[in-house]
Amino acid sequence: MRMIAITLCLFLFSVAGCSTISTPASSPTQINVIDEGKPALSLSQKEKWTQLVGKWFGNQPTKSEGRIMWIAERHNDGMYRIHFRVIDASGKKVDKTELGEWGVSGSVYFTIYKGDVEGDKIVPVDPTDPYNRDAYKILKLDNEIFEYESFDPVNKYTVRRVPSDFKFPE
């Protein structure tokens, strides 16, 4: 009799446990329901892409009491070119130009650094190095200003749209 009671209790616990973890696929409260394929882009996504295409200029102080300026050119095909100018505390300038791919997904702006321009050559970087991929939270984006923030470490960047013939101020 005792064995039957134990078996019955075990059976009831197992049935009760199973019933609390299974949810019918058609349940409206199910959390992990996804699309069968990639959904179409929202109008907002298309607008963000269009807004980011063009030439943008950033100019911010560095933690080492210098400045960093950059001119970012984003093209409609998802390619970018960024010319950096770093000016250290003594006034020494170092220029660097990098190429890569860019994109937007929701409130995230991302880049994939592909290589540096040295003279008339492109020097590729290691595509397996995760350092060459960056993601940023979009804080503000309109036709004139783009503010974004890196996740780790947290740095906030601000750039302004400039004309296509814009060059670094001297």
Long-range contacts of 65-72 (CB under 8 A, 24+ apart): 65/89, 69/168, 69/169, 70/159, 71/162, 71/166, 71/167, 71/168, 72/159
Distance CA 74, CA 99 (A): 10
Q: How many CA within 13 A on the CB side of residue 79?
A: 6
Digitized pLDDT (tens) for each residue of the chain, 170 residues in all: 444 444 444 444 444 444 444 444 555 566 888 777 766 666 688 899 999 999 999 999 999 999 999 999 999 999 999 999 999 999 999 999 999 999 999 899 999 999 999 999 999 999 999 999 999 999 999 999 999 999 989 999 999 999 999 999 87
CATH superfamily of 55-161: Calycin beta-barrel core domain (2.40.128.20)
How crowded is residue 142: how many other Cβ atoms within 10 Å of its Cβ? 10
Distance CA 150, CA 54 (A): 21
The DSSP call for residue 131 is G
Domain boundaries along the sequence of the chain = 55-161
Q: How far is CA 111 from the centre of its chain?
A: 7
Residues 6+ apart with CB under 8 A from 164: 54, 55
